[in-house]
Amino acid sequence: MSIALTTQLICFSILSLVIIVGALGVILLDSIVYSAFLLGGVFMSVAGLYLLLNASFVAAAQVLVYVGAVNVLIIFAIMLVNKKEDLKPIDNLKSRRIISTSICLTLLSLLVRVDSTDVWNLASPSTSIGEDSTIRIGEHLFSDYLLPFEVASILLLMAMIGAIVLARRDVMNQDISTGLPVDQELIEKAREPLLVKKK
């Protein structure tokens, strides 16, 4: 085994371990802020895997779109909505956990089955796409995958608007979801820092 293959194997092992540990941390940690930051680490590690596959454009898109946009949007929404309030007990929590666990285990078994039954051959360097990969990705993105791309952008916009509405609900005169007037004491408390800054 050459030095290059050994280096690739070590990098792949480290990145895979970071992805697995980070994904488990996203699911199992109690703090949603730590989960969001670990999600950013998972996205960065996936970009590293793309670099190992010689897909530099996809790795750059992964960092720009998922780390620079999606993860920042998630952290932004968490920081806006993360208020100190008691969590209400969730009804039928055990049944929800059983259902979600069974779905995850089913998906994992499908992935293991595909991985174990298919033969994974390494492409030779002579048949590699190389620099033409960017052109082919652009062609597919604006032809075959144009609709999912636009739907994803609309969903991200809706998520950002929802986060802003939830964060600003306490300073509005009327609650958007119920239509009832908001307590005026909350409005005065929200305005106090602004009045201090003006003085």
78-93 confidence digits (pLDDT tens): 777 655 555 566 677 7
Q: What is the Cα–Cα distance from 58 to 143, expressed in whole angstroms?
A: 17
Angle at 95 (CA atoms; ends 92, 99), nearest 5 degrees: 135
Give me the count of residues in the chain: 199
Contact 70, 156 (CB under 8 A): yes
Report pLDDT digits (tens) over 64-119.
888 888 888 788 777 776 555 555 666 777 888 899 889 989 999 998 998 888 77
Contact 71, 36 (CB under 8 A): yes
Domains plus CATH for the chain? 1-82+130-167 (1.20.120.1200), 172-199 (no CATH)
Q: What is the mean pLDDT of residues 178-188?
A: 56
The reported pLDDT for the residue numbered 87 is: 57
Angle at 196 (CA atoms; ends 195, 197), nearest 5 degrees: 90
Cα-to-chain-centroid distance, residue 89: 26
Look up residue 131 and give its DSSP letter: G
H or E stretch at 71 = none
The reported pLDDT for the residue numbered 152 is: 83
Q: What is the mean pLDDT of residues 19-35?
A: 89
Contact 17, 41 (CB under 8 A): no
Q: What is the Cα–Cα distance from 77 to 149, expressed in whole angstroms?
A: 22
